[in-house]
Structure 1
Amino acid sequence: MGRFDEGRSAEGLLVCLRDTGAIAGNVNINSIIRGRFQNGSLGYASFAPYSGRGYMSEGLGLVLRHAFDELRLHRLEVQIRPENQASIKLVRRHGFRYEGYSPDLLFINGAWRGHGRWALTNDMHGIVPDAPHPTLPDR
């Protein structure tokens, strides 16, 4: 019996302050699917007392460059609760487009909660790799 493994299905990255190395937050690229999809799902969190100071915006910008240039993903998605205005502002700042609302999407605090779906493609972000990921079919 063999094992089929196309590589890692997630990347976890820390957002650190340059001067002190303190961890200001994290960004995860989860559920990386290759082949025709070349997609990942983003999750992130800012840690107090660093929230609202621009660190996550700078960190997310670096993660987007990594995802589109190094990992050669075509698309990233993020699901955000409608009341989370800070998160919505963050993804809008980086050019994500709103694609709709999914009721009962994630189980949070004992109940299924609806989320807005946001997405960004490499060409929307202006980073298209010289060569596609090797798992992308020719046709």
Structure 2
Amino acid sequence: MTEGLVQIAAEVEEFLAGQPLSRVTLRPLTRHDEAEFTALVRASADLHHPWMSLPDTEEGFRAYLARFDLVTARPLLVCVRETGDITGLININSIIRGRFQNGSLGYAAFAPSAGRGYMTEGLDMVLRYAFGQLRLHRLEAQIQPGNTPSIKLVRRLGFRFEGLSPALLFINGAWEDHERWAIHNPQPWPAHPSLPNP
């Protein structure tokens, strides 16, 4: 594990120590997850298509992992607490500090355990981590209009619809329209948001 991942793993553990027990836990995605992750992606092809495309090969996984600089983007796994099995992925992408203090969420459930509420618990935990530990002000999820399960997930957690962006993201070979759903930090941080995050 790289030094940056070790630091994030420690930060996540510190956060989790102060949280109520849940059926799931969080940890950073690392190169050691390659085999389990790519097998889950292959098993979840029908669940993810046509909404997203995740790497299902060794080469694709390594390229995917390399894109996370751990400052402006953090890949987090949602794992079943009792077994440690990966049940989903939630990325906090495009983290911008200064006056914005914003991040963009990307997430996916994996087929073997989808539909059991693990992603609701995992995303709720990520929101608390992003707003409490990272002190972000706002998180946004971009969702294709037909992706009803994803829209239900964010609505359940208090996200509000902000509008439709035509041809926003390039997904599976085409520029797709996306709805923008956002949630704001209920805690006002800090008095001078342009200062660096402590």
Could you tell me how far apart the structure 2 residues matched to 1:95 and 1:73 are? Answer: 16
- In the alignment, which of 121, 124, 136 is matched to residue 184 of structure 2? 121
Gaps of 5+ in 2: 1-69
Q: Using the alignment, how far apart are the partners of 1:16 and 1:10 within structure 2?
A: 19
Bigger RCO of structures 1 and 2 (CA < 8 A, at least 6 apart): 1
Unaligned runs of 5+ in 1: 1-6
1:132 aligned to 2:195? no
* Structure 1 residue ranges (4+ consecutive) displaced by more than 4 angstroms after TM superposition: none
Alignment of 1:29-48 (within 5 A): 29-48=92-111
TM-score by length of 1: 0.85
Letter in 2 for 1:136: S
| Greater share of helix | 2
Q: Deviations over 1:7-51 (max 9, x none)?
A: 811111110001111000110000000000000000001011111
Residue 133 of structure 2, aligned match among 70, 74, 92: 70
Instruction: Identify the residue that residue 85 of structure 1 maps to in structure 2.
Output: 148
- State how many pairs are aligned: 126
Cα distance between partner residues in 1 of 2:71 and 2:85: 27
Give the AA of the match of 2:75. Answer: G
TM-score (norm 2): 0.61
In the TM superposition, what are the counterparts of 1:45-60 in structure 2 within 5 Å? 45-60=108-123
User: Displacement of 1:132 after TM fit?
Assistant: 2.2
Contact 1:73 1:133 in 2 (8 A): no
* Bigger share in strand: 1
Q: For 1:75-111, what per-residue CA distance to the aligned partner results, in whole angstroms no more than 9, with x for missing partners?
A: 0001001111100000000100000001111111221
SS in 1 for 2:113: coil
1:133 deviates by 8.9
Identity over aligned residues, as a percent? 67
